[in-house]
A = this chain, B = another copy of it.
């Protein structure tokens, strides 16, 4: 019997989420797992934790910008700091939840299209119009995406999932729950790999 999906939480503002999104499916498949895609809103989560965007923290801010670029390239990904950052990830997150109605592959395709637009190309995905354009370029029906982002059920699902994420202890991006075990950061994927292989330690 295949195990439960890896619960993958990410915010489009997070370059580490961008790295994680490109790696999570291969990691899951290696262990016979699937991925549950959960776009989330760090802004809402930071209200609980009192944290703020990394680039605004003294000393840590300069470093984080450097680490964003270095880490993306270390993992073989293109990198560009978007002109607009942080930005509202609400529309983009809704687009993923809408796409997820067609399954995990569609959710992944939407996620990577939007993440690549921001972090490989430095484009804006703030707002429904920008999101629809990028979704259209990726092969989605832009009108259907726009309708989906405006669907009250999609909007409510996003809010419910953010609340649920906070209840489950999610406080950063990417964040992966593996059979309930929490892993924070693209730099914990090596531990997830060993955890799935060994059943934990």
Where the two chains meet, the residues of A that have a C-beta atom closer than 8 Å to any C-beta of B are 45, 48-51, 57-60, 62-63, 66-67, 70-71, 73-74, 166, 169-172, 182, 184-185, 187-188, 190-191, 194, 201
Contacts and interface: CB of A to CB of B under 8 A. Distances in A.
Contacts of A50: 57-58
27 contacts: A48-B58, A48-B59, A49-B57, A49-B58, A49-B60, A50-B57, A50-B58, A51-B57, A51-B60, A59-B166, A59-B169, A59-B171, A63-B169, A63-B171, A63-B182, A63-B184, A66-B182, A67-B184, A67-B188, A70-B191, A70-B201, A71-B191, A73-B201, A74-B191, A74-B201, A185-B187, A187-B187
A176 B89 CA distance: 33
Q: Tell me the number of copies of this protein.
A: 2
Contacts of A188: 67, 187
Nearest to A185: B187
Contacts of A194: 74
Contacts of A63: 169, 171, 182, 184
Given A49-B60, A51-B57, A62-B169, 6 more contacts: A49-B59, A59-B166, A60-B172, A63-B169, A63-B182, A71-B191
